[in-house]
Amino acid sequence: MTTIQTGITVEACIQACLDCYRHCQHTALTHCLEQGGKHTEPAHFRLMLDCAEVCRSTAALLLNESAFATELCALCAEICERCAQSCERLGDMQDCQHHCEYCAETCRQMAKAPPSPHHARRTGAAHPHAG
Amino acid sequence: MTTIQTGITVEACIQACLDCYRHCQHTALTHCLEQGGKHTEPAHFRLMLDCAEVCRSTAALLLNESAFATELCALCAEICERCAQSCERLGDMQDCQHHCEYCAETCRQMAKAPPSPHHARRTGAAHPHAG
Amino acid sequence: MTTIQTGITVEACIQACLDCYRHCQHTALTHCLEQGGKHTEPAHFRLMLDCAEVCRSTAALLLNESAFATELCALCAEICERCAQSCERLGDMQDCQHHCEYCAETCRQMAKAPPSPHHARRTGAAHPHAG
Amino acid sequence: MTTIQTGITVEACIQACLDCYRHCQHTALTHCLEQGGKHTEPAHFRLMLDCAEVCRSTAALLLNESAFATELCALCAEICERCAQSCERLGDMQDCQHHCEYCAETCRQMAKAPPSPHHARRTGAAHPHAG
């Protein structure tokens, strides 16, 4: 399987983004809404949905083999990190926190990948065989 | 793991939708654009992107445990089936075709699940442990 | 400007969907989260975000001139109507309620438009000059 | 109406993003696919859809009054600018080019807005009355 210098495949980054999207979207709309209190305070709840939105869009740019995908990965890493911290403060959001932390780390590595005109195309070659 | 009467879990349906989204979006933006000819004829190419859009949105409603998720599953099944047929006619799109067929079948079964006020909540309980 | 038999242009329907998306998404993430109480009860809040998601996706299929756009319009009309009712019960959501009602009516008319192989293409001709 | 220091309201930026989304998505899926040739060359066509995706997501973060909205505006401005240049080279895409240029300029100004803890909330107050 094709990998980039950092050892992270584009495919693994897409997977991490979609997993993080799933967990943030689902946890916000079920666990957080049902718990209420600190779980629906605007700062936390918005972060959950911002994170879901940006993870979904980052996956889209990676799937498009966009020249801008790594820039969006850098921003996605920031948002995921902040969301993980917010989950940690609440204390009963370990599963969501874990997915945010993993996605942050994966996107951060993807963002560091050396820019190259042929980069996206080559690494992207692995996608069609993705799960 | 909680299942619905048809044997399909909500989680499996979300996975099928996101997998189909990935393959349609990626294949359209890489293989189809690079091949050109019949691959970029409006009827086929639009179907690929319609399918990607609706799969992504169906996954979102399932994650939201929306009361309307099964209705969207029924439409998603139709679009996936049509997209699979279009891929089959082109002949070199087996991987995408397979994901469309699987998603169509999964969404069709989900759409048949008996409506129940507690249905979404119970079956949804499996999500947080999803891959 | 090209219109369809019912008098609703595709362009007007796209506009109604995007306006409804804007109001549901923004009102949920600001007014509802800040008010709390009944505004963040799962049934109401999920409906707001389901409505935002489906309005956004319906606009996308209309923009794609998808053969499936009118089917999604029919479902969008249902969700918007239910969301308008939920807003009405809360009592201080008139602006959002109004946009949901208007979008429901517009999508309902679009869904009734007679299917025709050339329909989407012709009516779609108006889009590029849209605001 | 509340404005930010640069004179651009959050509402105007949301409108510019959604307008640019509409034009890129629609023009790509109709005009570009129907013309073929240079219009479906991967570099141009991907840029059109990347631009549509990021404009849509930037509008979402602005609607969410996300703390990360201005960072995404900066990236959105870059992509819109590049897409405008690609449209200009093709020569018959003036309408799409114009919307990309306007969105780039609007997002660039939004990205320069001074960060302030109360900024998003105050400027966001204008949204519910938006068209």
Q: Are B16 and B107 in contact (CB under 8 A)?
A: yes
Identify all chain D residues contacting B34, using CB atoms and an 8 Å cutoff: 42
- Interface check for A41 against chain D (CB to CB < 8 A): the answer is no
Backbone phi, psi, residue D59, to 5°: -55, -40
Secondary-structure class of domain B10-114 per CATH: mainly alpha
CA distance, residue D81 to nearest chain B CA (Å): 21
Q: Give me the pLDDT at residue C128, please.
A: 36
Determine whether D123 is exposed, middle or buried from the number of CB atoms within 10 Å of its CB (0-12, 13-18, 19+): buried
Note whether B29 contacts D46, CB cutoff 8 Å: yes
Least reliable range by pLDDT among A117-126, C41-50, C114-123, D59-68: A117-126
User: pLDDT category, D50, cuts 50, 70, 90?
Assistant: very high
Region A105-110 average pLDDT: 97
pLDDT in single tens digits along all 131 residues of chain B? 444 455 789 999 999 999 999 999 999 999 999 999 999 999 999 999 999 999 999 999 999 999 999 999 999 999 999 999 999 999 999 999 999 999 999 999 999 975 544 344 333 333 333 33
List the structure tokens of C36: 């709390």
Our measurement of the distance from residue D117's CA atom to the centroid of its chain's CA atoms, rounded to an integer in Å, reads 24
Q: Give me the pLDDT at residue D117, please.
A: 43
Write the pLDDT tens digit of every residue in D17-38.
Answer: 999 999 999 999 999 999 999 9
C42 or B7: which carries more pLDDT confidence? C42
Q: Give me the pLDDT at residue D2, please.
A: 43
Neighbours of chain C (3+ CB pairs under 8 A): A, B, D
D43 or B116: which carries more pLDDT confidence? D43
Instruction: Please say if the pLDDT value at position A116 is more than 70.
Output: no
Residue of B nearest to C55 (CA): B57
Q: Give me the pLDDT at residue C68, please.
A: 98
Note whether A46 contacts D66, CB cutoff 8 Å: yes
Q: Give me the pLDDT at residue A123, please.
A: 38
In percent, the amount of chain D with pLDDT more than 70 equals 82
Has this prediction a pTM greater than 0.90?
A: no
First CA to last CA distance, chain B: 13
- Interface check for A50 against chain D (CB to CB < 8 A): the answer is yes
In sequence order, the 6+-apart residues with CB closer than 8 A to the CB of D97 are: D84, D87, D88
Instruction: Please say if the pLDDT value at position A121 is more than 90.
Output: no
The shortest CB-CB distance from D33 to any of B29, B34, B42 is to: B42
Note whether A60 contacts D79, CB cutoff 8 Å: no
CA distance, residue A11 to nearest chain B CA (Å): 10
Q: Give me the pLDDT at residue C8, please.
A: 82
CB atoms within 10 A of CB A34: 12
Note whether B49 contacts C57, CB cutoff 8 Å: no
Q: What is the ipTM of this complex?
A: 0.85
Write the pLDDT tens digit of every residue in C69-109.
Answer: 999 999 999 999 999 999 999 999 999 999 999 999 999 99
D82 or D5: which carries more pLDDT confidence? D82
∠ CA A92-B56-A36, rounded to 5°: 25
- Interface check for A56 against chain B (CB to CB < 8 A): the answer is yes
Q: Give me the pLDDT at residue A6, please.
A: 56
Instruction: Please say if the pLDDT value at position A1 is more than 70.
Output: no
The shortest CB-CB distance from D61 to any of A50, A66, A67 is to: A50
Q: Give me the pLDDT at residue A103, please.
A: 98
Q: Give me the pLDDT at residue A130, please.
A: 36
Q: Are B53 and B25 in contact (CB under 8 A)?
A: no
Q: Give me the pLDDT at residue B120, please.
A: 41
Identify all chain D residues contacting C18, using CB atoms and an 8 Å cutoff: 18, 22
The CATH number of D11-114 is which of 1.20.1270.360, 3.40.640.10, 3.90.700.10, 1.10.150.20?
1.20.1270.360
| D1, D105, D108, D113 from D8: Cα distances, Å | 11, 10, 10, 9
> CA-to-CA distance for D113 and D124, rounded, in angstroms?
14
Region D49-64 average pLDDT: 98
User: pLDDT category, A114, cuts 50, 70, 90?
Assistant: low
> CA-to-CA distance for B61 and B6, rounded, in angstroms?
19
Q: Give me the pLDDT at residue D56, please.
A: 98
Q: Number of residue pairs across A and C with CB atoms under 8 Å?
A: 27
User: pLDDT category, D129, cuts 50, 70, 90?
Assistant: very low
